[in-house]
Structure formats: structure tokens, C-alpha cells
Amino acid sequence: MVLILNRLCLFLNTFIMNITELFYTSAQRFPKETAIIFKDQQITYEELAQQVQETAAWFNHKGIQRGDRVLIFVPMSIDLYRCVLALFHIGATAVFLDEWVSKKRMELCCQIANCQAFIGICKARVFAYFSPELRRIPIKLGTSYQTKGLRIARMVETTPEETALITFTTGSTGTPKAAKRTHGFLEKQFGKLIEKIDPQVGDIDMPVLPIVLLCNLGLGATSVIADFKAAKPASFKPAKVLRQIQQHKVNRMTASPFFLKKLSQFLIEEKKCLSQIQKIFTGGAAVFPEEAELYIAAFPYAVIHIVYGSTEAEPISAIEAKDLIKEKGKVLTQGLKVGIPETPTKIIRIEDGEIECANMEALATYQVATTEIGEIIVSGAHVLRAYYNNPAALKRNKISIGDQVWHRTGDGGYLDADGTLFLTGRCKQMIPHASGYLAPFLYEYFFQTLSGVSMGTILSYQEEVVIALETDKQANRTEIEEAIKQLKIGTTAIRFVKKIPRDPRHHSKIDYDQLVAQLKT
């Protein structure tokens, strides 16, 4: 613990409101250490720092200035982090889009962010010619740059209030919101993440979650980018990732549950053991006890942390896989245990509209009793305070009391008498019932325990409760229906569907809007 605190203090003291400055400090301390490994490319901290400065000069030369919003459409690679760090160097704002983004979503994000420049790979720049929204952006650049005749610009000293990064929520529950991450916010978020994942100099990490790689660059760890296209999850080749881990001696991972589950299944099937993996962090979607058992079986020598959080608040809490598996058989009745919150957390009654409170006494009137299900709200320095260009989302998702902002997660759950947090699913999907609420999230867990069921959920559709199930070819539907009858949740229709749509980011959450549209056909 003392080592963690010392490293955290060093982090906060050297971070002067700019991620790039933190990276430059690492480059001065560990110039010859490898910063990033991407396929057959490797780059040291010293080399990357030089390229970041040259790229910053090139961006300035092409007209990108302090405060400009710059749309980045570059896959996870050395080029991505070189460009992002260069934008921070000159005080510009990086507007980050995921690899899986559709044309419709990209254009919607462009409308929201109103960018002054666009940086993309060749395919993205060709695509830009066919998009009215992208054509409106005045400056369009690739990932290459020139240095001849250019003067290296001094790094801009940004203020805590200036926006460093804009990312977007998945939009799985509506229009994607532009998360406005200021330099001050990133400082606090990185501090919290580093306190949790504790990267060490000399660590060789495989960070499948992009923001974690920035943390690694701030502390001198080596990052190996997985040979995995987030835009095409079905093309995931575990054997390729295994070779990377073995070749580069990866000793820790930070990945989505989808990625980790697929890799774990492969390792077990092939009877492979990666004894060098010491720590694993996963988050972004729910992990149930049976999946935690799978992780432990595949990585018996690793300490595995399952993190609960969201785009606006990461992390909120965490639980070790070995502790989660003790909850096996209890989830349907008690909810999914996600650990003790590491930031101020309250449970309020579920409300559809905006909530305005003049003081904490007013907020207290919304709070529910211990163990009662409600909406989870969180506050803290690493909790997002604002959205870009979306006052309606700000009013709907934030409760401001003086200088303190409470974020409404949209997740249902409760705190037990010991302060442990349990999830019961998205508030939007909770179904009013005679006993209080039916929580589809918990039934989704139960359905996955049934033989032959790949995924299932329960939802309110056309004024009746409907169970939608995705099964494999060998599934015995009669047995499945009998098992569901034992739940005694009243009269429900059971619909067997070919494929339940998943969210595009983590490929683990159900896209309910698409599922409802599918049921109509």
C-alpha cells in the first residue's frame, strides 16, 4: 500500500494538467524502454516523444490551434497515441471515435462536436468524401507528417478547465452523449485508475481498453496492442493473441469481458496455461460468477479484478473474481455483487424525469432505504461533470448541488448494510411488477445458466412480459420452457430468436431497441 501511495503521489506531482507532460516525464526517466508494441512495430519512449513533438509541429503548420476540436478516426496503434499526445501538446481537443462506429453514428458525433479538423487513416479519409458532415470539416489530415523546415513548438500550458478529450457513450439507451473530459478531470481519473490498476515500470501490459494505455505511458510501462479488431469481434483469433502474449512476455491485461471470455475459452480448450500473467482487469459489461470461474480456470496464477464503472465514472467499485464466484446461485435473488464503492455513492428512487435539488437535504428525500432497489448515483473528482453541446443530457443525468455534481448512472441497484453495492440492471429496462420490479438483468443471468441458451432477456413488449431467448442448435426448447415456468413470474410469452443484438462497443450488453424492432418482424 505504501508503494502504491508513493507512486500515486509521484503521479500527481508530475502531472501538471497535461497528459503529454506526464508522458514526457516518463520518456526522460526511461528513454530506452519500449513504450508500445504494435504488430511488428516497436517504439521506445525516447523515439515516441520525438515523434510526438514533430507531429505537434506538423499539426500547427497545417492550421490546428489551441482549443480546436479534432476528430480522430485511427485504430488503436502507435499512430493513434502519437496523434493524441501531439494534440494535447498544442492544447487542441481530441474527439475520439471507436473503431466500430457506423456512418450514421460518425455523422451524428460530428454534428455534436462541430470539429475544426479531422485526422484519419486512408480508408476514413476516402469515406470522408462521401459524408456531408465530414466534408464540412476544413482541415483533413492523415497520420503521416513532415518535419522539414518546421520548428518544434513549446508545449502549451493548459488549465484544468480546458477540454482535453471528448469521447462518446455507446448511445445504447438513446443518442450518444459527448463526454467532456477536461485536463483537470483526466488528472483525477488517471489518479484513480492508477491507484486501482497500479502499473509498474517494467510491466508488459496488454491494454485492450484504450485509456489504460495512456496510463501506462504516464508511468513507464510497456503496452502490447492486441491483434484484435474491435470493429469485427467475430474475427477475433485467440491463437494470435496467445502468440503475442508469449512472444512479448506480457504479464498483465486490461480487457473487456468479451475479449477475456473468448481468450479464456480458447486457453481451456487448448489446455494452455499462461503462468506469467499476474494481474487482469476487466470491465465495461457485467461479469457473472460462472464467467469469473472461467477466468480463474484459464488464468490460475493471476489476480483478477472485475471493475464496475461507466463512461462518466470509471471506476466506481471493483471485486476480485475469487470473491465473485462465492456468490454463485445467489444472483437471481440478491443481484450482482460489484464490491464496495470507491467514490461517494447513493441510491435514489427511480425517476424518469430530471431531478433538481437545492441542497443535500432535498437530495435525501429521494434516497431509498438500505437494501431497497433504486438508481445508483455517484459523485467525486473523477466523475464527469459535463457533456459537450448537450444541455438536455446534462439536466437529465446530473444533479448539481453547489460545486458538487452527482451523476445518475441509469443503473439500478442497492447498497446492503455493509455498504456493498449490488446491481440489478438498467433502470430503463426494469419492469414494474406486483412484487416491486422485475429486473431483466438478473433473469439474463439465469437464462445463461440453462443448457442450450446462449443469451436471453425479459422485457415489456406490447403490454405483456416477453422472454426472448437465443439458443444453439442442440437446445431442448421444451426443457428450457419448463425451467422458466419454475420462476413463477406470471403469464409470459417466450420467443426464440436467431440472434439477440449486442452493443457494438463491448459485444456483451443487449441492444434492447434493436431487439424490440426484431420482435416486431
CATH number of the domain that residue 415 is part of? 2.30.38.10
Rounded distance, CA 169 to CA 110, Å? 14
pLDDT at 408: 96
What is the domain range of residue 64?
A: 45-182
- If asked whether residues 392 and 444 sit together in one domain, one would say no
Residues with Cβ within 8 Å of 430's Cβ and at least 6 positions away in sequence, in order, are 350, 373, 412, 424, 437, 438, 439, 440
- If asked whether residues 463 and 410 sit together in one domain, one would say no
pLDDT at 170: 63
Per-residue model confidence as pLDDT tens digits over 269-297:
999 999 999 999 999 888 999 999 999 99
The domain boundary, picked from 152, 182, 212, lies at: 182
- If asked whether residues 413 and 354 sit together in one domain, one would say yes
Mean pLDDT of 139-151: 91
- 460: part of which helix (H) or strand (E)? strand 453-461
Q: In this structure, are residues 394 and 408 in contact, taking their beta carbons and an 8 Å threshold? A: no
pLDDT at 266: 97
- For residue 60, count other CB atoms closer than 10 A to its CB: 19
Residue 9 has pLDDT above 50, yes or no: no
Residue 251 domain-assigned (yes or no): no
Query: Among the ranges 134-138, 227-231, 275-279, 281-285, which has the highest mean pLDDT value?
Result: 275-279
**Total structural domains within the chain:** 3
Mean pLDDT of 352-363: 94
- If asked whether residues 88 and 177 sit together in one domain, one would say yes
pLDDT at 15: 38
pLDDT at 3: 34
Question: pTM of the entire structure?
Answer: 0.86
Residue 452 has pLDDT above 70, yes or no: yes
* 358: exposed, middle or buried (Cβ count in 10 Å: 0-12, 13-18, 19+): exposed
Mean pLDDT of the chain: 87
pLDDT at 10: 36
- Output 302 or 212, whichever has higher pLDDT: 302
Residue 17 domain-assigned (yes or no): no
Residue 125 domain-assigned (yes or no): yes
469: domain CATH number? Answer: 3.30.300.30
pLDDT at 63: 96
Q: Where are the extended beta strands (E) located within 191-326?
A: 204-207, 222-225, 252-255, 279-283, 303-310, 313-320
66: domain CATH number? Answer: 3.40.50.980
- For residue 417, count other CB atoms closer than 10 A to its CB: 7
Residue 176 domain-assigned (yes or no): yes
- If asked whether residues 352 and 399 sit together in one domain, one would say yes
Per-residue model confidence as pLDDT tens digits over 13-47:
333 447 888 899 999 999 999 999 999 999 999 99
Per-residue model confidence as pLDDT tens digits over 398-418:
999 999 999 999 999 999 999
pLDDT at 230: 74
Residue 394 domain-assigned (yes or no): yes
Residue 511 domain-assigned (yes or no): yes
Per-residue model confidence as pLDDT tens digits over 433-444:
776 778 888 888
Residue 323 has pLDDT above 80, yes or no: yes
- If asked whether residues 422 and 453 sit together in one domain, one would say no
Q: In this structure, are residues 56 and 89 in contact, taking their beta carbons and an 8 Å threshold? A: yes
Rounded distance, CA 167 to CA 169, Å? 7
